[in-house]
Structure 1
Amino acid sequence: MTSSGIPLDSANVLSTSLECILYGFSVLMFMGTVWALTYKCRMQDINRPISVVAIMLFLISTAHIVVDIFRAEEGLVTYRDTFPGGPAGFFGDITQKSYATKHALYLLQTLLADGVVIYRCFVVWQTVWVIIIPSLLWCGSVVTGVAANYYIAQASSSTIIFVKPLGQWITAFVVLTIVTNFLSSGLLAYRIWVIDHNSSTIRATKRTMMPIVRVLMDAAALYSATLVTTLICFLCSNNGEMVLVDMAVPIMAIAFYMVLIRIAITRQTRSCLSTWTASEMEQGKLRPFQAHICQLTLKDGVSSYGIGSEDRPSTCNVESPCQM
C-alpha cells in the first residue's frame, strides 16, 4: 500500500506551521482559563482537578510542538543530504523516535480530553449509568491507541503507517474517539437543555443556559470535524492525515479552554434576578419579607436555583466562579 496526497516533507512543513498558529491561540486561551479559575478566588476555592487538567493539556501541547519543531529541524536540516530518500524519506520513516514520541503525546492528549468530557457528563447527570457506554468506548480507545503505538515501536524502516495491522488499530482508535466525543457531548448538552427547559417556568428573566449548550456543541463540532477529516484522509491513505493529527493536539486544548472561559464569563455576569417585598402582620406592625431568587448556577455543568428568604435583607446564593 502506498500513500498519496502532498509529499511528506511538504506535509511536515505545513503541519508544523499550522500547529504553531493553533498553539499560539491555545496559549492565549490557556491564559484566559487561568484567569477564569483564579479570578477573585481564594487559593482553597480553586478547582484543583480542572486546573490540573488545563495545565496537563497545555504541557502536552507544548511538548508535542517542541517534538515537531525538533523533527522538522532533523529532517530538513540535519539529515537532509544523508538520510536515504532525503527529507521525504525521513518523515516517512515511522521508526524514528521523534515519530513515536509525538504520537504517544497525541494519544495522551486525546485520552485526557475525552476523559474530561465523560467526567462532565457524569457531573451533570449525577449517575454512573449514563457514562457506562462512553467509559467503555474510552477504554477501547486506550487499548487501540496503545496497540497502535506498540506497532509503531516495532515497525521496520520500510513500514508505512497505512499498512495492516497498524492501519487497522489506528482506524479503530480514531473511530472510537469520534463516537466517544459525539456521545458524551450529546448527553451533556441534552441534560443541560432539559434542566434549562424545566426551570423556564420559574425563571425571573429570559436568560437561559443555551449559550453554554452552544459553546459545548461548538467545541464538540470543532474537535469532531478534525477527527472525521483525519479518518477520511487515513482511509484514503492520504498524507494529509499527518497535518490534521498535528493540528488536533492544540485543537483539543482549545476546545477544553473555550468551555471553561464561557462558563466563567457567564458566572461573572450572573446576578440576582429580582427582589420583591411583602408584608406580614406581627404585633400590629408590618414586617418586611424579602426573597431573593438567583439565576441558574453552574458547577461544571450542574445547574440549580439558589433561593433564600428571611425576615431581613439577604444575599443571593450564587456560587463562586472558582468552583467549576
Structure 2
Amino acid sequence: MRDFSIGPAQIVALFMTCIFYGMLLVTTSLCLNILLLKKDRNTLSHHIALAATLCMLAIASNDAALGLAHVLDAFAYYTGPGGAEAELSHVSSWINVVKLVNYLLQTTIGDFLLVYRCYVIHDRRRAVIVLPIFLWLAFLITYSTAIYVTANRHALGSISSDQTPFITAASVATLVQNLATTGMIVYKLWSHERRNREFLAGSLTRRRLTRVIGIIIESALFYTIFTFLTLVTFLADNNADYALSDCVVQIIGISFNMIIIRGHGTLSARWEDHEPSQISQRTNQFRMTDMTLGFGENDHRRKVSEISECPQPSIYSEVASTP
C-alpha cells in the first residue's frame, strides 16, 4: 500500500471540506430563516445564536478558501525544489497557521455555546459550569500555545515533538468538556422528565422531550466522533488528521445549526394547539404558556406549566433556542 503522503492528504482534505461546507451552507440558510423570522428577535439568546451562526459560517468559509489556496499554490504555482510535497510541508507557513487559528476559533465558539446551553438549562447555576469552563479555558490556552510554537518553528515536516503535547492536551480537553457538558444537559432533561412522569405520561410533551434529548446526543456524537478520530490519527502520525481536522471546522457549525433547526420543528408549536384535552384530564391546575423557541434574558423564570406542589424548571422552551 502506498504511503498516505501530505500531498494526497491535502487533496482529500479539500474534497471532504467541500462536502461538509456544502452541508454547512444549507443548514446555515435554514437556521437563518428560523432566527430572522422569530417574533422575539430582541432577546439576548437570539442575538447570541444569530451572531454565532454568522461567525461560524465566516470562519468555515475562510478555512475552505485557504484549503483551496494551499492546494493551488502547491500543485499549480510552486516551482521550487521538492515540488508540491515541499510546499505543503511548510508547517509554519501563514496558511497553516491561519487554519490552526480557524480551528481554535470555531472550537472555542462551539464549546462556549455548549457551556452556555448547559448554564441556561440548569437554571443559570454557576456551580454547574465550573468544570466545563475550566476545560474550555484549558483548550484555549493549550491550543493557543500550539499555534505559537507552530508559527515560530520555521521548518519542514510534520508536527514536531514540541507541538504534540499542547495539541494532545487541547484535544483531550475539548473531548472531555463536550462529553461532560452534554451529559449534564441530558441528565437535567431526563431527571425533569422522570420527576414529572406522572403528569407527562402518554402526552405529546413527553415525546417532545425525548426527541430533544435525542437531538442533543446526536449532535454531540457527530462532533465528538470526528474530534476523537482527529486525535487518534494525529497521535498515530497519520496525515489523515489534515482531512479530519478540516472537517471538524465545518462540523461544529453544522452541529450547532442542526440543534436549532431540529429543535424548532420539535418545540415551535404552542401547547394549547396540541393537547389541551390531555392536560385538562390530568389536572385542572395547568396554565400553559407559550411554547416557542425564543426566550429573553429573564425568561428562565418562566414556567412551561404551573402545577401546585410540583415546581418545574423552564426547560422545554430553552433547550433548542439556547445557542
- Give the TM interval when normalised to the shorter protein: 0.7 to 0.9
Q: TM-score, normalised to structure 2's length?
A: 0.84
Retained in 1: the 8 A contact 2:268–2:291? Answer: no
Match of 2:158 in 1: 160
Retained in 2: the 8 A contact 1:294–1:307? Answer: no
Q: Aligned partners of 2:211, 2:244: CA distance in 1, in Å?
A: 28
Equivalent residues in 2 for 1:82-97 (5 A)? 82-97=79-94
Retained in 2: the 8 A contact 1:297–1:319? Answer: yes
- 1:95–1:137 distance in 2 versus 1, CA, 3 Å: same
- 1:187–1:238 distance in 2 versus 1, CA, 3 Å: same
Match of 1:24 in 2: 22
Match of 2:225 in 1: 225
Match of 2:54 in 1: 55
Count of aligned residue pairs for this structure pair: 299
Measured after TM superposition, the shift of residue 181 of structure 1 is 0.8
Aligned-pair identity (%): 22
Answer with 221-230 or 197-206: which moved more. Answer: 197-206
Measured after TM superposition, the shift of residue 200 of structure 1 is 2.4
Measured after TM superposition, the shift of residue 42 of structure 1 is 5.4
Give the CA RMSD over aligned residues: 2.9
Which has a greater percent of helix?
2
Q: Could you tell me which amino acid in structure 2 is paired with residue 6 of structure 1? A: F
Measured after TM superposition, the shift of residue 159 of structure 1 is 4.7
- 1:222–1:277 distance in 2 versus 1, CA, 3 Å: closer
Query: Gaps spanning 5+ residues in structure 1: where?
Result: 279-288, 309-317
Match of 1:251 in 2: 251
Equivalent residues in 2 for 1:127-142 (5 A)? 127-142=125-140
Match of 1:66 in 2: 65
Which has a greater percent of strand?
1
Retained in 2: the 8 A contact 1:171–1:231? Answer: yes
Measured after TM superposition, the shift of residue 43 of structure 1 is 4.4
Q: SS in structure 1 opposite 2:154?
A: coil
Structure ID, larger Rg = 1
Measured after TM superposition, the shift of residue 234 of structure 1 is 0.8
1:6 aligns with 2:4: yes
- 1:276–1:53 distance in 2 versus 1, CA, 3 Å: closer
Measured after TM superposition, the shift of residue 269 of structure 1 is 3.6
- 1:189–1:297 distance in 2 versus 1, CA, 3 Å: farther
Match of 2:212 in 1: 212
Match of 1:122 in 2: 119
Q: TM-score, normalised to structure 1's length?
A: 0.84
Answer with 176-185 or 201-210: which moved more. Answer: 201-210
Q: Aligned partners of 1:11, 1:104: CA distance in 2, in Å?
A: 20
